[in-house]
Amino acid sequence: MMGNEDSVMLPLVYGKAAEVARKRLEHLETWYHELYGEAELEFYSAPGRTEIIGNHTDHNGGKILAASITMDTVAAAAKRADGEVHITSEGYDKEVVIDVATAAETPHCEGTVSLVAGMIVAARDMGYEVGGFNATVSSEVIPSAGVSSSASFEMLVCTIIDHLFNGDSIPSADYARIGQYAENHFWDKASGLMDQMACAVGGTILLDFSDGVRYRKVDFSYDALGLDLVIVNTGKGHADLSAEYSSVPGEMREVAAALGVKNLCETNEDVLLENLEAVREGVGNDRAILRALHYFEECGRVDTAVAALEAGDKAKVLEMIEASGNSSWKWLQNAYVASDPSEQSIPLALALTEIFLRRAGAGVCRLHGGGFAGVIMCAVPKDKTDAYVDFMAGYFGAQNVYRTGIRQTGAVCLGSM
């Protein structure tokens, strides 16, 4: 069992919640021994993520402000000698079992087994070592709801592979590419890299996808603004909405193609406006043009927010967060599914939150993540947090209102304890 000599990583990663984290890991340790027998275990953690500004820009080479959050996925893991990967996750009845040597033959679009197989294939194709291991996994990241439970899991698996077989040498950007490859080629999901990067790196980061993956740390937290971050799950997951998500980058690229480029990062808003009549006629889809305009304006908001942070202008940052959310709702149009207008859980949650914040006199809210369903975020004044949680719990249930915050550590091995 875990000893009393807590790893120094626990307080570093979890702060005041270190003891709660320790109990979660002890549970995983006991469960591991029940399933797989005795082993010298090491423990791993990968956070979920929050998007601050930059909704649906990564896939077209745009900019994003994103951060890891305190919700995370954790694992206890150890090597096994036969070259097989065995993963058992809490809440899932079926164990994932993959032979590393034949991972490429794993059927696609069959859930977690396909995702893990795709990651193994990607890691090996990129020149990294992959061997067999057992793992027990537990997650508090809300599934199918816009805080990247899948990316959190992917970055957890990357951390295990990196630590056990590659000496902690794999760069964060390659973690993200491994996860993206698995989603693109084994899940048939047109995922970008933002989710994975935010989960892998930790803290708040400025991401620029115009030339590969570039990022730098940014000094931002809601705490510093006197706000708490609250995530509200509207109660409808988005696991069945892949076509809706894929339509966003697809339509943006239709506009890009009409302007003679592959992605929108290769052109600019002025070029689109100068050629709007021809693009509109050629594309034949006004929503695609609105989504392209959202892209350009959203990247500009990221730049404005970063400049405001560097200048200490907190009010401007909040203004950009609010403007980003409004653009997602009105221009990007991912607040609900157009083919099912009776289901508008995201707009309803936003409307209720806007009423609360107007009465409170401060705070901002926005659609969060991929959209169409899932969650919203609210940055609420700390002295109003309890009231907001109670207010939203009355409509969506207390189990769907989550207090969280920005975590400074990304995907990491916590040690052996």
Q: For residue range 312-351, list pLDDT tens digits in order.
A: 998 899 999 999 999 999 999 999 999 889 999 999 999 9
Q: Is the pLDDT of residue 57 over 70?
A: yes
Closest C-alpha to 24, from 80, 66, 75: 75
Query: What residues have CB less than 8 Å from 339, skipping those under 6 apart?
Result: none
pLDDT at 38: 95
Higher pLDDT, 194 or 143: 194
pLDDT at 417: 73
pLDDT in tens, 36-48: 999 999 999 999 9
What's the rounded mean pLDDT across residues 230-243?
Answer: 78
Phi and psi, residue 379, nearest 5°: -100, 105
Taking the C-alpha atoms of residue 99 and residue 52, their distance in angstroms, rounded to an integer, is 39
pLDDT at 144: 59
Quick check: pTM over 0.75? yes
Helix axes 286-311, 276-283, angle to 10 degrees: 130
If residue 164 lies in a helix (H) or strand (E), which one and from where to where? helix 149-165
pLDDT at 3: 43
Q: Which residues in 291-320 are b (16+ Cβ under 10 Å) and which e?
A: bbbbbbebbebbebbbebbeeeeeeebbbb
pLDDT at 5: 42
Taking the C-alpha atoms of residue 219 and residue 408, their distance in angstroms, rounded to an integer, is 10
Q: Provide the mean pLDDT of the chain.
A: 93
pLDDT in tens, 81-133: 999 999 999 988 899 999 999 999 999 999 999 999 999 999 999 999 999 99
Angle at 366 between CA 365 and CA 372, to 5 degrees: 145
Helix axes 286-311, 242-258, angle to 10 degrees: 90
Per-residue pLDDT band at 288 (split at 50, 70, 90): very high
Per-residue pLDDT band at 49 (split at 50, 70, 90): very high
Helix/strand/coil (H, E, C) string of 253-322?
HHHHHHCCCCCHHHCCHHHHHHCHHHHHHHHCCHHHHHHHHHHHHHHHHHHHHHHHHHHCCHHHHHHHHH
Percent of the chain with pLDDT over 70: 96
pLDDT in tens, 117-175: 999 999 999 999 999 999 999 999 877 556 688 999 999 999 999 999 999 999 999 99
Taking the C-alpha atoms of residue 31 and residue 135, their distance in angstroms, rounded to an integer, is 10
Taking the C-alpha atoms of residue 305 and residue 71, their distance in angstroms, rounded to an integer, is 25
